[in-house]
Amino acid sequence: MAVSPNSQVFLFLSQILGKRIVDSAGRVQGKVLDLVVAVADLYPPVTAILYLPEGAKSPARFPWNKVTHIAGQVVVSPPASADAPSGNLGEGELLLKESLLDKQIVDTHGAKILRVNDLHLLKVNHNLFLIHVDVGFRGLMRRVGLEKAADKFFQWFFDYHLADHFIPWRFVQPLSSPALLRLRVAQDRLSLLHPADLADIIEELDIHKRTAVFQSLDVETAAEALEETDPKIQVRLIENLNPAKASDIIEEMSPSEAADILGDLPKEKAEGILKEMEKGIAEDVKELLEHPEEKAGGLMTTAFPTLPPQATAREAMEFLRHEGENLDLIDYLYVADAEEHLLGVVSLRDLLLASPQTVLGDMMDVRVVAVRLEEEKEEIADRFAKYGLKAIPVVDEENHVKGVIPFKSLLEVVAPQLGK
């Protein structure tokens, strides 16, 4: 396969590795060991060849822009210098074979972990770009020199055309290096995943990669993923963080989820994190920690909307707009007096349909279905099933509203495989 300098052609990394490097006079300069790319670009350009010079014991680099021809060998001009730079990588650089070939990557489009069998490159004039990773069986056959034989066998025996399975580089997140995970482009790609998908990926990884991926995420993404992760893995991930970083993440979580995690941590670790948290959030979480996890007090969240009966529908909507992102649910707005006695409930639907001047006391439903702090999960589940609610408020003996149980929180206890 000959590739002229002024052409566009696809190549595979497996077709370049191991090739001899010669100068224009045919003198052997060495052998291709790997390709260096600048990973910060959307389609990373190859910047250099990592090669082993003739008679040398240590690898060296040769600039890719000095490559003039690729056929059975790589032709370069001028010849490689005797004092060629070492094979050390610069910031934002990646060795394709070392970091990607046979390694795990995240397909952020398909939300799954895959193994890289080959790398698909595009040569445009003098430039070479990484455009796809090959995760298919055909790529593996190409690596071992059996691509044509595999094609013929599948066509003859199964009447099946063995297709390539490429993933565009823009959807690929390498997992081989913590340094790569810290790049802004890596964080952006991972944050595009649904939190539940990201949690599944984190759970599939070994403990070292799992920790590296989690610690590379921004605080908000980490909190969202952590809420969807298996409780045992939640604890391990938080245990590997210092209290300040752990508190930043836990503050972004719902109070009930935060309490669940802190309740599973060793007491000393949990106390250290609580000391680093904002005072108001820490107090809410401490209150939830006082209740058994499978009773109403342990299932409830304290991040719910409540307003006095004299508030208008307009004021209620403004409240939800400003505070909504800090609340765990906005399906219902609970009406309480100055002493926090539960008076009634207004659904979001009724609020949207009401005249802006209507006060909540005139539109609330006073037939509130509530449970007590010590109510068992079975009784709570019966209430949800009987009344078809999305959330149920929790009150104490004097009818003070203490929290609200979203349906998902109950589901996580009753059927954890569905709740997460």
- For the chain, the domain total comes to 3
d(CA 248, CA 218): 10
Tokens of 54: 């003739």
Residues 82 and 225 in one domain: no
pLDDT of 326 reads: 85
User: Residue 99 falls within a domain, yes or no?
Assistant: yes
pLDDT attached to residue 142: 79
The token pair at 167 is 């993933």
Sign of CA dihedral 404, 407, 410, 412: negative
Maximum average pLDDT range among 54-63, 97-106, 147-156: 97-106
Whether residue 152 sits in one domain with residue 30: yes
Considering the domain architecture, whether residues 1 and 146 belong to the same structural domain is answered as yes
| pLDDT tens, position by position, 288-309 | 888 887 788 988 998 899 999 9
Dist CA 209 CA 190 (whole Å): 14
Q: Are residues 117 and 218 in the same domain?
A: no
Domain membership of residue 255 (yes or no) is yes
Secondary structure of residue 165 in the 3-state scheme: coil
- Are 343 and 337 a contacting pair, CB within 8 Å? yes
Range of the domain at 339: 306-419
326 and 398 in a single domain? The answer is: yes
Residues 153 and 221 in one domain: no
CATH code for position 238: 1.25.60.10
**Is 185 domain-assigned?**
no
- Classify strands 67-70 and 60-63 as parallel, antiparallel or unpaired: unpaired
* Cα dihedral sign, 235-236-238-243: positive
Looking at the DSSP bridge assignments, the partners of residue 95 are 36
Out of 262, 290, 318, a domain closes at 290
CATH of the domain at 415: 3.10.580.10
Asked whether residue 332 is domain-assigned, the answer is yes
Residue 94 has pLDDT above 60, yes or no: yes
- Span 380-405, pLDDT tens digits: 999 999 999 999 999 999 999 999 99
Is pTM, for the whole model, over 0.75? no
pLDDT, mean of residues 330-340: 95
> How far, in Å, CA of 286 to CA of 255, rounded?
9
Is 350 inside any structural domain?
Answer: yes
Q: What tens digit of pLDDT does each residue of 61-78 get?
A: 888 888 888 878 888 887
Q: Which two tokens stand for residue 94?
A: 């990646």
Q: Is residue 183 part of a domain?
A: no
Query: What tokens does 160 get?
Result: 């099946």
Q: Does the pLDDT value for residue 83 go beyond 50? A: no
pLDDT at residue 25 tops 90? no
- Same domain for 161 and 43: yes
Same domain, 53 and 164: yes
CATH assignment of the domain containing 74: 2.30.30.240
Provide the pairing of β-strand 306-307 with 46-53: unpaired
What integer best gives the mean pLDDT of the chain? Answer: 86
Note whether 108 and 255 are same-domain residues: no
- For residue 182, tell me if it sits in a domain: no
- State which of 290, 320, 338 marks the end of a domain: 290
Query: Confidence class of residue 260 from pLDDT cuts 50, 70 and 90?
Result: confident
